[in-house]
Chain A
Amino acid sequence: MPDKPMVNDRYQRMQRTASIHLKMEAKNTLQKIVEEFPNNPAQMDHFYRKARIFTGEEKFSARGRHVVATMCIHVPIELILAAGAIPYRICSGAYATDQIGAEFLPAKSCPLVKATLGTIFLHLYQYDIVPDLIVNPTTCDQKKKLAELSGELTESPFYTLEVPPTRDSEDARIYWQRVVKRFARRLENLTGTKITRRKLKGAIRQVYRAQVQYRRFFNLRKGLPVIWGKDAILVTNTYFYSDIEEWTNALEKLNGELEQRIANTDRVVSPRAPRILLTGSPSIFPNMKVPILVEQLGGIVVAEEFCSSSRLLYDTVAVDEWFLYDMLPAVADRYLKPCTCPNFTPNTDRLRKLLDHVREFTIDGVIYQAFAGCQLYEMESRLIGNALEKNGIPMLYVETDYSPDDLGQISTRIEAFIESLKTRKKKKD
């Protein structure tokens, strides 16, 4: 438990209230997700249950293994698995911890960073387990400073993973491969397990199996809308803190059910509903404000370009020679080369990816979610918006955060956007 912060009455009070708020928040969001939508797939129950770790109804045991907390998508999961530890991502979407973090950060900080800091500060991790290591990749400026600040506030063991600012150059690749190699050594020290050739190969294959199911899920959504976007987002969210095998099996079952639905043309929404692509700052449970609003107002989210979904699991590791000398760089490359996180510059690949999604998923409109204070996404929105406009795809830019205050305002805007998309769609037909 925390030693550094004054383990005083105030801290304990904060912890107690934030924990209650977090549970309420999670409960409310889940209620919306589960009960306010018709025709949820039966196999979603597993994922709903997984999300209940936030409400305290679901428990988890690390089974004596080390727990390595991660942030962002740049942390090579394969290495953590190969070292025999449990990876889990602590990027938070909770308003309850956002308010705590706000106490230590400038007013105009990104809610995701604030919420994550709040989580670390109050030890309000999912599952109530204490991570043995918190891996902090140097992605955006705020994430970079997060570790320093948390180190000042708590005694959590941080590890800084140095992410290069570009990813196309050879220098960046070689630098990153070295960083990843060093990270592997650190993990070995932590768990006392050597990352051997066999173990790493096993871990890569384990992630392959998850990717096979994820890609199947991803491709399914190109056709008939058989699953709500809010469910799809929850599926990838639960990957943050699920046992990978368990998650893969559950998704396999869900995929089976969805394929059945496609065969039976069992849609969740009319084919006239505008098909929306969500991109920008990630929706992380319990902050599901935008996707839920979109779908309540008559749209359907068929694809997300988020670091909490497609960016997380889509791209694969390719190894030429199955020895550590090639496997480690291969794993490193997979986390660098295809990553469309805006912390990299140039990031034109993100635009290419979006345009590809627009074609592949027959998108009617793009909603660009930017968290207030999330400077990189805010800045990139202009480039993306202009390019989409050139290609004749309407985009709505929504600046939001974790608080429920702007619900009325953004719901009006989203509603108007969806109505206009509907009219456009009708005209096209």
Chain B
Amino acid sequence: MKKLSTFVNNANISRFRFYIQLLSFIVLIYGGYAYISIGQNLPTFACPYNHATAGNCFLISLQHQLHNSWQNLLGFRGIALLSAIISFLLFFILLNKAWCGYICPLGTIQDWLTSLRKRLGIRFARYEESTFRKLKKVKYVVLVWLIVAPLFIANSVFGLPRLSHDFFPPFCTICPARPVLPLFTGDTSQYFIDFSSPITLTMTALGLVIVALFLVGSFVKKRFFCLFCPMSALHYLFSRLAILRLTKEGEKCTKCGNCFRVCDVNIVEIADDVTHRNIVQDDCMMCFKCVEACPEDGCLKVSVLGLPIFVSSEEGFFHRYGPLENKEIKDA
């Protein structure tokens, strides 16, 4: 048992993650060809605009379920909505935000763009902390928009006129997954501008601008889109229910900042917060690069139901960062 845990703690989790991401990508994008259907309420971007998708993104079913009159929502439609949320939660609590770091195809594409940039030896961009703090709020705005807009389209609230149906689905029309993911099955039909009304024109044009931003942004900035992702915001609301956890023992932290240095999503709390045990922040995608970079034994810990499965260690750090000529450290 001790040998196994040492083996895991010394392992290169980033490489492991690469293969898991590749596998998930293939399953989610091409699974439909093999009649795989994982579910309608996946807590990740499995986009149904891609005809071969192996499941549906929860955000699309959420928008559809909310696109109902109040009466319906208080009746059987409400039960359908509730069951959708429960099925989302059941998927979500298994992996917590690791859905972002390990499964999400859109995240994987961003990581591949990062690899491409690295290959070319081009340096990455970083936000200033103050900019980051402002930008990260955008995802909550988008989340509120995608929840409120369907209700406003279907109902008149406070006697206000209803929102135009042209906005529907309010998030999907601007989501980069809709045009990007079908590309992998050779489908370019999502690249269009809809001139039927000023609203569709604006939304579809905005959607195309966002795709362009997505591709350029994630090339220069690691996980560029995740900062604005409403799924990430939704995850965070339920993060504490999940069984997969990332915890930090502040006493063991020397604040060396290694974890923050390697963090793809700029989370400074991982290094500077020495009081909270649950260290998962809203932007965290649980890639566990921070655990890899931490040289303090047992300071950062990944656990399932309280059982540690991957723990930071001095030995692991040096294994990953500097090939050791001296193997004797194992005995120390």
Contact = CB atoms under 8 A, between A and B. Distances in A.
Interface in A285-338: 314-321, 323, 325-326, 329-330, 333-334, 337-338
B324 interface: yes
Nearest to A315: B256
B253 to A, nearest CB: 8
A353 to B, nearest CB: 7
Contacts of B318: 208, 211-212
Contacts of A321: 118, 124
Contacts, number: 90
Nearest to A216: B332
A406 interface: no
Interface string B233-266: 0000000000000000001111111110110000
Interface residues of B, number: 37
A209 B322 contact: yes
A82 to B, nearest CB: 15
A353 B262 CA distance: 23
Contact of A352 (B124, B251, B256, B322): B251
Contacts of A325: 123-124
A127 to B, nearest CB: 28
Nearest to B124: A321
Contact of B329 (A212, A315, A330, A333): A212
A256 to B, nearest CB: 7
Interface in A329-359: 329-330, 333-334, 337-338, 349, 352-353, 355-356, 359
Given A316-B295, A333-B261, A338 B256 contact: yes
Given A212-B318, A259-B331, A252 B326 contact: yes
Contacts of A256: 328
Interface in A177-227: 204-205, 208-209, 211-213, 215-216, 219-220
A342 to B, nearest CB: 15
Contact of A338 (B129, B257, B324, B329): B257
A356 B298 CA distance: 13
A209 B325 CA distance: 8
A334 B256 contact: yes
Interface in B297-326: 314, 317-318, 321-326
A338 B255 contact: yes
A337 B325 contact: no
Given A252-B328, A315-B254, A316-B295, 12 more contacts: A209-B326, A211-B318, A212-B329, A314-B254, A318-B321, A319-B261, A321-B124, A333-B257, A334-B256, A337-B255, A338-B256, A352-B274
